[in-house]
Amino acid sequence: MSPNVRGALLMMASMAAFTVNDTLVKVALRDLPLFQLVAIRGGLASLLVYGLARHLGALHLNFSRHDKWLVSIRCVAELSATFFFLTALKNMPLANVTAVLQVLPLTVTLGAVLFFSEHIGWRRIMAIIVGFMGMLLIVRPGPDGFSVYAIYALLAVVSVTIRDLITRRMSPQVPSLVVTLATSLSISVAAGLVSTFEGWVNLSSGNAALVASAAVFVLIGYLCSVMVMREGEVGFIAPFRYSSLIWALGLGWVVFGEWPDAVTLFGAGLVVAAGLFTLFRERTTQGAP
């Protein structure tokens, strides 16, 4: 099996694991308050990441103060993204929320242009415009098809874009597992504090199993995403991230009986096509505008 094939399979496994996690969380949110669930899942995920980091010898803070500030800001962005995403996930169809998030490669590209003065050509600019048109078809900002929770999904996109742009500014000396552990711990602690005002409910065995399974799938998704970076060519592997939309469509239909309408599917198709074209142009021009 070639490195590119292994990388593609790992990317698809990562997307599948994250989407299964989203499905488990959406089911659990029927009975559990949001911040209680986030606090418990974050605590379990932190333990798993800590054990993995100890095993790999990746627990050290031997990097600059500037990077430590970036890690802190990234944690805040991730906390914001978690709140907005899970609120949207609780109240919107799984596939719709996932489709909105497919615009991320485009927003990160746009953010790099606006804040880091990176240069892109007119073709990628047009792809970004087409992608945003597709996103508008998904959220439909009009009186008939619009859901107020679509705003939460869009705010999640903004938060994740900020997170990814900050990550790009970190030096290579910052261990990925340290960043993940810091993020997971900060989310768990913040959610735990807020949950004292929201109130806790007793966990049934079924809900406990859902939350524990979600934490395991988060770890699997992260492990696969780390392994992806060590396999094959990024330009070949990156498009397989859109497989998450296929998983979301299937799980949304099987678990929740949800199926997006034709307009939403068309909008998702535009977003995916624009993202794939952007990745293709980035690969063929090797970073040139």
In this prediction, residue 120 carries a pLDDT of 73
State how far the Cα of 5 lies from the Cα of 89, in Å rounded to an integer: 31
Say if residue 227 is exposed, middle or buried (CB neighbours under 10 Å; 0-12, 13-18, 19+).
middle
In this prediction, residue 135 carries a pLDDT of 79
Show me where the domains of the chain are located: 3-285
Closest CA to 30 of 91, 84, 82: 91
Entry pTM: 0.82
State how far the Cα of 85 lies from the Cα of 50, in Å rounded to an integer: 24
Model confidence pLDDT, tens digit, residues 109-151: 788 888 877 777 777 788 878 888 887 777 765 545 557 888 8
Model confidence pLDDT, tens digit, residues 187-229: 999 999 999 888 889 889 999 999 999 988 988 887 787 677 5
H helices of the chain, in order, are: 3-28, 34-56, 65-91, 94-101, 104-116, 122-139, 149-168, 176-198, 205-228, 234-237, 243-256, 262-285
Model confidence pLDDT, tens digit, residues 58-108: 777 888 888 889 989 989 998 999 999 999 999 988 988 888 888 887 887
Q: Average model confidence (pLDDT) for the chain?
A: 84
Q: What is the three-state SS of 22-36?
A: HHHHHHHCCCCCHHH
Q: Which two tokens stand for residue 185?
A: 């711990």
Q: Which two tokens stand for residue 113?
A: 């242009």
